[in-house]
Structure 1
Amino acid sequence: MGINSLLPYRLRNRRDATRHARAIEDILQTPPVIPRNDGLVLFSMIGTAVILPYLVAVKSLWNQLGRGRIVLLDDGTLTGRDKAVLARHCGDPEILAIRDVKLGPFPAGGTWERFLTILDRRQHEYWVQLNSDTVTMGPVPDILQAIASNRSFILLGDTEAGAAPLDLAQFRTTRYPDGPEEGHIQTRIESRLDLIPEAPRWHYIRGCSGFAGFAAGGQGRPLAASFMKAIEKLLGSEALSEWGTEQVASNFQISNDPNPVLLPYERYLNYWGEGWSKEAAFIHFVGTYRYHQDAYKRASRIAIDELKSSTGWLGQKGQ
């Protein structure tokens, strides 16, 4: 057992995050995004701790899309210096304050403010929710097609997510054949979806809210509020504040949009400590595996090197 494994998780994570930031700091040497008011919004909730990873995430995606403008939700920690960096590299993006998001009956925290902002503002533009712990590695034609056809898209949770959203009862019997389970809030909710009265007409698929597309003109807060009330009846009001409920709500919202696009998992994936194929186009580096075996750093370095040498949208074509 190495000395690193003896450190508490939070200390290891903080140390690894610092090392990662140092390894990618030359993202500041890459060309800025040239925003376009073309009906597409790339949206993220960020803070001062993730400025550099966020720039890798948004620049690598924008380099493949070649379109859209950037909107940010400040988690309350962005400094004046941070905002100056963002203005230079992201085309002076619109920055919203988390305290200004009206919650109504929804809980605070757990990225609910991020989700609610999308629901409130998706009527006339296509909104893409992008986590800072993601890297775009190559062409993303599935996303471009989803945006062009105004269909929401979802990053699947794993290889067993399925081929299409199912009605709530079908989802529960397929994913949780033994009935209700305990543990993480996502498991507790998903394994009880068939108990919701609206189960026959509502749909669901297990996805990841770290990367999601919300078609313009789609449903807003009323559907999300109805689903939240159903969950509250099943598990109690305290469950709504647990980290992970927003992800379930995001999965649900997109599953009930018309004909959503399920991104093929072999090309758009979550990193769980295993390698990825050469076909991988987009990787979300989740949770405890984020810094595993320097995979996140390697992917980021590939993206940064591509940005430095690119003659694509972020470089000459974007000017």
Structure 2
Amino acid sequence: MEILTAIGRKAGSWAHERAVQGILDTPPIVAQDDGLILFSMIGTAVLLPYLVAAKSLHHHLPRGKIVLLDDGTLTADDRAVLDKHCDNPEIIVKADVETAPCPQDNCWERLLSILDRRSNHFVIQLDSDTVTTGPVPEIAAAIDANRSFTLAGGLDEAQHGFKSAREISQIFHANGPTTDHVQAHAEAAMKTLPDADIRRYIRGCAGFAGFAKSSDGRATVSRFSQQMDERLGNTWRQWGSEQVASNWVIANDPDPVQLPYDRYINHWDEPMPESPAFVHYIGTYRYRWGNYSRTTREAIAALKA
């Protein structure tokens, strides 16, 4: 079974590599200086999938300008492609982002760069392994109302929504962390925070999240990160802590939005809804069933129409 799974994953990857090439034959994004930033951290390995992610979202939400965080691998040729297809985007170098007192690496430079820019912009964080497949009126409405939003982590998470930090600990980790993952340790520790009954949290997904204009900057995330560091130590510096922090920031913004999970989904090993508007292709299941290749081809066709 493992061999068959590996073969299927390889075949799916190969099919997607072929499908994604067509993005270079689609019209470039025309940036709008309208107070919206579409932000992503990318490198040379995900250049073409990123263009599908950015162009398909911009096609259904024709707003905003592109700002990118270079993970350190973008080449001169990559930057030329981005200049052509993304209307000369601002590109930040990851190594130039100061993270203290928050952790370094594991996407923290991405989150902190977003928070640095939300004083004058609504900022959408967009992963490269996503495809916008239909109209996104919920996103437009959130931007217009200046309400932060997040994609739910999964169907079970979507059913719980926004809760107090103490409730999250009790619902998911009543007897302590349920796994060794940093998210479990952080959520279990939330009940020990001095404002656990006031502060809120959501089990969201940092792969697609919107940060409303705010003067808060790094204040909320820095305070939260220091509290988690005091409780978790080195565990807080592991991969996944940035997503916990992103969820915390959004949950504690005024009147945030959880996107409806029947239209904005993570692609787990489960059937796709009939007409999703947005799909995040989680790494473990990215090439399962051929859905990533199919929606990529459909998005490229829509861009050419």
> What is residue 189 of structure 1 aligned with on the other side?
186
Letter in 2 for 1:268: Y
Q: Measure the CA separation in 2 of the matches of 1:86 and 1:127.
A: 19
> What is residue 312 of structure 1 aligned with on the other side?
none
Contact 1:180–1:191 at 8 Å: present in 2 too?
yes
Q: Measure the CA separation in 2 of the matches of 1:150 and 1:125.
A: 10
Secondary structure at the aligned position of 1:192 is classed as: helix
Residue 68 (structure 1) aligned to one of 51, 64, 68:
64
User: Counterparts of 1:124-203 in structure 2 under 5 Å?
Assistant: 124-161=120-157, 162=159, 164-203=161-200
1:258-309 deviations in whole A, cap 9, x for unaligned? 0001100000010002221223100000121111122211111111111111
Gaps of at least 5 residues in structure 1 are: 310-319
Contact 2:44–2:75 at 8 Å: present in 1 too?
yes
Q: Does 1:56 align with 2:52?
A: yes
Q: Does 1:224 align with 2:221?
A: yes
Q: Displacement of 1:2 after TM fit?
A: 6.9
Q: Displacement of 1:18 after TM fit?
A: 5.2
Contact 2:99–2:109 at 8 Å: present in 1 too?
yes
CA gap of 1:218–1:18, structure 2 versus 1, over 3 A, is: farther
> What is residue 33 of structure 2 aligned with on the other side?
37
> What is residue 280 of structure 1 aligned with on the other side?
276
Q: Measure the CA separation in 2 of the matches of 1:176 and 1:268.
A: 26
Contact 1:23–1:297 at 8 Å: present in 2 too?
yes
CA gap of 1:95–1:17, structure 2 versus 1, over 3 A, is: farther
Q: Measure the CA separation in 1 of the matches of 2:243 and 2:31.
A: 28
Q: Does 1:207 align with 2:211?
A: no
> What is residue 315 of structure 1 aligned with on the other side?
none
Q: Measure the CA separation in 2 of the matches of 1:142 and 1:82.
A: 32
Q: Measure the CA separation in 2 of the matches of 1:178 and 1:187.
A: 11
1:15-43 deviations in whole A, cap 9, x for unaligned? 85455222210111111100010000000
Secondary structure at the aligned position of 2:243 is classed as: helix
Contact 2:23–2:52 at 8 Å: present in 1 too?
yes
Q: Displacement of 1:182 after TM fit?
A: 3.2
Contact 1:173–1:179 at 8 Å: present in 2 too?
no
Secondary structure at the aligned position of 1:132 is classed as: coil
> What is residue 244 of structure 2 aligned with on the other side?
248
Contact 1:44–1:129 at 8 Å: present in 2 too?
yes
CA gap of 1:277–1:80, structure 2 versus 1, over 3 A, is: same
Gaps of at least 5 residues in structure 2 are: none
Q: Measure the CA separation in 2 of the matches of 1:106 and 1:232.
A: 9
Contact 1:137–1:282 at 8 Å: present in 2 too?
yes
Q: Measure the CA separation in 1 of the matches of 2:15 and 2:70.
A: 24
Q: Displacement of 1:5 after TM fit?
A: 4.1
Give the number of equivalent residue pairs. 304
Q: Displacement of 1:163 after TM fit?
A: 5.3
Secondary structure at the aligned position of 1:77 is classed as: coil
